[in-house]
Every structure is written in structure tokens, then in C-alpha cells.
Chains A and B, each alone.
Chain A
């Protein structure tokens, strides 16, 4: 336990002091500011249509695609990958891993501590962004969130963190398997692009009904997109197509019902994350430290 906590704090401190973190944070805040700016222009017309005024802060953009959800879906992978792509092989190539493992700590303290620190970093980043938008929005529209909206936002944050953790887990997985840092980074990016491709060109969705959707939902990007849509746009009830959701704005679901719809998604995301982490864990634990 001692080892885990020590590794965790060290990695957390590292995550927060690296340049890559500063760049990521700048990117994320840039996105948030941009989203608020778009909101400011469209929120007035949106407000008249719905009783979920506060959530409109995150979804109103005048575009077919809600900007905030869009950025979360596509940039969260970058955050996760950036935080984890060199977790293990970086330490190997810099020669610190064997020194680290010769200390009296359990080996899993290293990988657990790193993963945990990454997840916490992601969580801090996301929470602060959502709060930032909430704060600015609150001043702008002067309407506090209803309890239902709060529940939806918290659920959204929770799922976002899991989604981020998946990408972090994937990056860590590659960093355990590949010797070179560049290779593991590229592999993660490749997976990211593959899933984006699947999402952007949904030829699987055109397969007969349920089968196509099932294949699409292997991709965490699809999963998260659907979850985010259902949570932040209460009118959404049918998954997959955004157009359908916005077509029936008046028939909003309760938070409980929305959660019920996305429950399987949530479980799938958690499962994917767990699988990634479990594989890297086992591989790392069994790996032999060798000379050279």
C-alpha cells in the first residue's frame, strides 16, 4: 500500500508538471471557452424550447452536432493516450524501471499507481471544465440547474471519466507491449483513428438493424457518443441517430429513464476499460526484467 500511494503521488505530480499536461489543459479550456461562446449566441432561442435550460449550456450550439459532446467524444481519447502512452516503456527506456522495481514494493504498485494517477488527472481536468462552463453559464443565464439536471451532469462526468480511463488503459496496454515509446503512441492513435472512422462512416449501421448497431457499439466512441447524447439531451431516447432525438424535443425522459437506456453502454465501457487494464496488468506482472 505504501508503494502504491508513493507511486500515485509521484505520478500525479508528474502528470501535472509536464508540458503535455499544460498543452492538454489549454486545449480543453479552449474548447470550453469556445463552447460557451457558441452557447451565448444560441441559448436564447434554445431556452424557449425546453425546460432543461441549464443543460442547454452544454448542448446548444446552433449546430446539428452539440459542440461540447463532440469535443468530449473525440478529444478525450487524446487526453487518455497522452497521459499513458509511455507509462511503462518510457520508464524502461530511461532505465528507471529496474531501479524502481528493485525497491521493496509490490510490482503492481507501479502500474496501479500510474493508472490511478492518470484517472485522477483526467477526472480533475473534466470536472474543472464542466464546472467552468457551469460557472460562466450561471452568470450568463442566471438559472441554477434543477436537481434532475445536476444528476444528469454528474452522471455525464462519471461516464466521461470512465471513457477517458478506457483510452488511458489502452495507451498503458500498448506501453506494456511495445518496447519503443513511439510505437506505443502510434498504436494508440491508430486505434483512435480506426474508431473515428467506424463512427464517421457507419457502414455497419446499414447492416440489418440490431446487428449493425451491435458492431458499432464495440467502439467506445460510439458508446460514449450515445451516452453523452442521452444524458445531456433529455429528449433523446432512440440511440444512434441524433436527428431523431432532436425531432421530439417536448417528450423528454426523466433522468432515471435516461440512465436506464445508457446502463448497458456504461457497463460496456467499464468492461472495455477493465479488459485493457487487466491485460496490461497481467503482462506487466509476468514480464521478466532482462539484461540489456
Chain B
């Protein structure tokens, strides 16, 4: 099948002792996407990833990766997907090289290839010089990069990164994110990245899904998301005047495309179908109003995110 999704879930549900953690989740992720899986803590992100990898059995519903059923064919799924758990750990008394070589062997890589592949992977994440150091001496950021090298060793088609930026300093975060973006691009790897920190995801993701209380509330390409989620495709423009008169309000209301005008103090909140800032400015001037400032509210993902994570 050529139109097959990389990741697909159908009514995926997981309940622990009666508490529904993931509720009828339907997810589609296409090849080459960097999918940001957002949601507050406890929204069910990790559980969803675990079900996708066949590490946890769903209560009902199906999870598929490249068409393989995660519950019934976990080995096939694990062969093509890499996973970095949230609190990723390594054998601290082994060297970085040994840790990755273990992964390589577990993936059935022939012995000749192990050293080469491990070397390459460490190179990509910039840890080649640390190859013979014990992982116990690594910082959190280095461990996270090592974890990314760890999935590169198996050369997966899709990678699941659970909170790859937690517990890392800001510079380290940028470094990790750039690394992820670069690898996804260069290796044509589909990446699913979970996070509760929106601005990070915004930076590198092409698609986002926001999960709250086990349900997907918003999903789609990052650039389209904002307006769809709020106000049915409307723009909101905020105008501040020295004095609000009824002439001004009437003038604005007469403009084609203005849906509503709300007054609050000395400013007006205008909903309209297009970006009507020039027309509004003109109307204000014509009604002898004095314009102080005008601002268009773009719906940042953050607004959506805050709205839903606030509920949770």
C-alpha cells in the first residue's frame, strides 16, 4: 500500500483499573512528518506511545505502524521503530560504545557491522570522543544525545521520542531539537515527539496533535492549526483609540467582512473574516477617531494549548 500511514490508531483505548487514560484515539501520521505530540502531564502521551510499540496492550482499539499490528506483531514493529523513553537510562558502568553495541546486537546486526554502525551513530550526535567513556560520567544532555544515537544504531523508519527535552538546560534543548530535525530530514525518518513544552515542539514540528484527558483535541499541520481551532476561521483585531465614539463603531461595522465589534474600555475587539486592518484604520479616521494602536491577534498554538491543558 502506498498511501499507508506510518502510524495509525483506530479507537485506541487504554484503561487502568477503570480510569481511562487514552480514550478512543484516532491518529494518523504520514511518512516524513515530525509529529509533535502535545499535552499536559498525564494526558496519555506515554501510554499511547507504549501501545504503539506493543509494550502495553490496549484495552480496545488497534494501533498500527507501517500496517503492522503493534499488539500482535510487536517484533516487526520494534524492528522498524526506535524508542527513547522519557527517563532514558543506560548501563552506567559500560562505555557509550558498549551500550550501543548491545543495542546493535539485540537488533541482530552482524558483528562486522556493529562497530561501524555504532561509530557512525556516535558521530552524528557528536559523541565520538566519548565513545570509550563510561556512561555514568555523562551529563543529562549527553545521555539524551546518546539515546538518539541508540535509536540510530537500529536505523528505524520511525522514531518515538518521549519528552526528549526534559531535564536539559536550554542550550542542550536547542541542540537536541536541531539534531532531531536534522536526522529526520537527512534520514527521511518519521519522528513522533512527545512534549508538554509547546514552544519547543513548535520549533521543529511539521504537524501537531494536542492530547487532553486521553483524547485528541486538535490535530493537523502546524501552520493551519491556529485559526481552525478558534473562532471558525476568523481574525481578531484589537484597536485602541483615545476615545471610543458610536460613530467609530458604526463606521467599522459597515465594513464588508466584519462579523462583530465588542467594546471594552477604550479599545475595540473586532472579529472579521479577513485581515481588514487597512479598511478599519480608514473607517476610524473617517469617523474622526484617534487611533492609538492596532493589533492583529494571531492564534498561537499556545492559546489552544493553554485552553485545553487548563481543562485537564
Chain A contacts to B: CB under 8 angstroms: 2-3, 6-7, 10, 14, 17-18, 94-96, 98-106, 288-291
Contact = CB atoms under 8 A, between A and B. Distances in A.
A290 to B, nearest CB: 7
Interface residues of B, number: 34
Interface in B141-198: 147, 150, 154
B213 interface: no
Contacts, number: 73
Contacts of B78: 102-104
B89 interface: yes
Given A98-B83, A98-B85, A99-B150, A291 B106 contact: no
Contacts of A7: 106
B83 A291 contact: no
Contact of A106 (B75, B91, B103): B75
Contacts of B102: 6, 10
A99 B83 contact: yes
A18 B154 CA distance: 28
Nearest to B53: A102
Interface string B88-103: 1111110000000011
B56 A290 contact: yes
Interface of B: 16, 46-47, 50, 53, 55-57, 75-76, 78-79, 81-93, 102-103, 105-108, 147, 150, 154
A289 B56 contact: yes
Contacts of B75: 104-106
Nearest to A97: B89
A104 B103 CA distance: 10
B157 to A, nearest CB: 13
Contacts of B55: 98, 101-102, 288-289
12 contacts: A6-B102, A7-B106, A18-B93, A94-B89, A94-B92, A95-B87, A99-B103, A103-B154, A289-B50, A289-B56, A291-B46, A291-B86
Contact of A95 (B79, B82, B89): B89
B88 A3 contact: no
Q: Which 5 pairs from chain A and chain B are nearest by CB? A: A95-B89, A291-B46, A102-B83, A103-B106, A104-B79
Which of A2, A6, A106 has the largest number of chain B CB atoms within 10 A? A6
